[in-house]
Amino acid sequence: MSWGSTGLRFTAAAIAILLWILLCVVIARSERRKRLQAAQDHAIPALPAAIGKPWLIAYASQTGTCEDIAWQTAKSLHAAGVPAQVMALGAVTPADLAVAERALFVTSTYGEGDPPDAAEPFARKVMAETLALAPLQFAVLALGDREYVNFCGFGRTLDAWLTQCGAQPMFDRVEVDNVDDAALLRWREELGLVVAKTGAGELSAWEAAAWQRWRIAARRHLNPGSAGAPTFHIELTPVDAVAKPSWHSGDLVQVLAPGDDARPREYSIASLPADGSVQLLVRQERHVDGQLGVASGWLTEHNALDGEVKLRLRPHRAFQLGDNAHRPLILVGNGTGLAGLRGHLKARAANGIGRNWLVFGERQEAFDYYHRDELEAWRANGVLERADIVFSRDQPERRYVQDALRESAGEVREWLNAGAAVYVCGSLEGMAGGVDAALKEIAGAEAIHELAEAGRYRRDVY
């Protein structure tokens, strides 16, 4: 082998290493900018370094609730003179835990005991080891839903792992059922006692986002005659908004129905501010006793047109387009999950960005093809480069969106290799797990893990 060829290989290797180092630097700077911007967005100025070592506040959030609570906790600590560093749990490293003196973990549970998507790297890599965390003092706030068997499952697993690693609990784990105010008050009280012992000031009260008055401006039954539950297109407009409401595609609304003040329901927004209304896809929930679900019944039947509802907009940063705004998109969903995907398609159409592939599933084409005219218009004008609309009951054997993905495995790999991001919206049971399994079969489990860590695999499932 000549020196020339050896030299070229050496040069190529050096360039590759340099590019990798530059990529790491860019990513690190990007993450730092995001953390600084988040602190600015939540109005938390820096405290003098002399005050003390910052408390680590790590959140693991599927829809943004835990992130909001983490920042509210940081604001309270800051007002008491205690510095805090807020991080997504997925970005926390063993080194972060090793240098922290106190850490607060605010986490939800996804499905039956799993971590939220963004925390999966931490659970898969960091929690696979038993670290030496003896100096660390910690507390866990675990959010969950008692309708699931493994209530607060991931929060409990995280608590047990920290204890196994030798970390010392500052107080017992606080578990929250459906964002129960009493449990959150207990978290603040327990935290306040710890802060008081440090000689810092009192914790300030949290500033919960205010409920606003909105009206039902339009309501349309989308699937009359369907074997499935009635599904409605709902349009809501503010009653007395001082400023024009603003949100991003992928965001959520919380609706508070009368008589159910303790349990707001969340819905994916299917529209953009330019549409002039918050648009939802709402399927009626009916209990075994025949009674309609409180929120869905109020939106679709009990409340008359022009009737008021209490509503507040909620950023869902984990499902926003963010850095994927100009990437090719593979949008996968079923049922009312079309709402979140429709919002993204509207954003892409408004910005003249094509290279979108929709894979959507429902029961029967004759009844359940929601927003058909709009989707077909997007196919005709190029907003949708490809659309696979799957109706599970229109053939003898059931066929679902995950089957459509497997049938187009080669094209899925091509899109991913071209930098595509995957967004999944719809039912947790059946669809989300089936799509995840199909993607891992098509691209490999490690590739999908890397996709998620890079923010190119995002899910809004329920």
What are the pLDDT digits (tens) for 124-178?
A: 999 999 999 999 999 999 999 888 889 999 999 999 999 999 999 999 999 999 8
What is the C-alpha to C-alpha distance for residues 66 and 58, in angstroms, rounded to an integer? 9
pLDDT of residue 182: 87
What pLDDT is recorded for position 181?
84
* Confidence at residue 3, expressed as pLDDT on a 0 to 100 scale: 44
User: Which of the residues in the chain have pLDDT under 70?
Assistant: 1-51, 241-242, 261-262
CB 147 within 8 A of CB 163: no
Please indicate whether the domains covering 44-197 and 212-314 agree at the CATH topology level.
Answer: no
pLDDT of residue 247: 97
Check residue 24 and give its pLDDT: 46
pLDDT of residue 206: 79
Q: Would you state the pLDDT for residue 18?
A: 53
The yes/no answer on whether domain 212-314 falls in CATH 2.40.110.10 is no
* Predicted local distance difference test score (pLDDT) of residue 30: 47
Residue 204 CB partners (closer than 8 Å, separation 6+) = 75, 76, 79, 80
pLDDT score, position 41: 52
Tens of pLDDT, residue by residue over 406-422, are 999 999 999 999 999 99
Residue 16: the pLDDT is: 46
Cα radius of gyration rounded to whole Å, the chain: 24
Give the domain ranges of the chain.
12-41, 44-197, 212-314, 322-461
Closest CA to 420 of 272, 321, 319, 317: 321
pLDDT of residue 434: 97
**What pLDDT does 7 receive?**
53
- The CATH architecture of the domain made up of 44-197 is 3-Layer(aba) Sandwich (3.40)
Which residue type sits at 379?
R
At residue 409, the pLDDT reads: 98
Question: Beta strands of 355-450 (E only): which ranges?
Answer: 356-362, 386-391, 421-426
Q: Give the number of C-alpha atoms closer than 13 A to the C-alpha of residue 279, restricted to the C-beta side.
A: 23
Query: Which CATH class for the 322-461 domain?
Result: alpha beta
* Dihedral sign, Cα of residue 213, residue 286, residue 460, residue 112: positive
Assigned token pair, 20: 């990798």
Residue 241 CB burial class (10 angstroms; 0-12, 13-18, ≥19): exposed
pLDDT computed for residue 244 by the predictor: 84
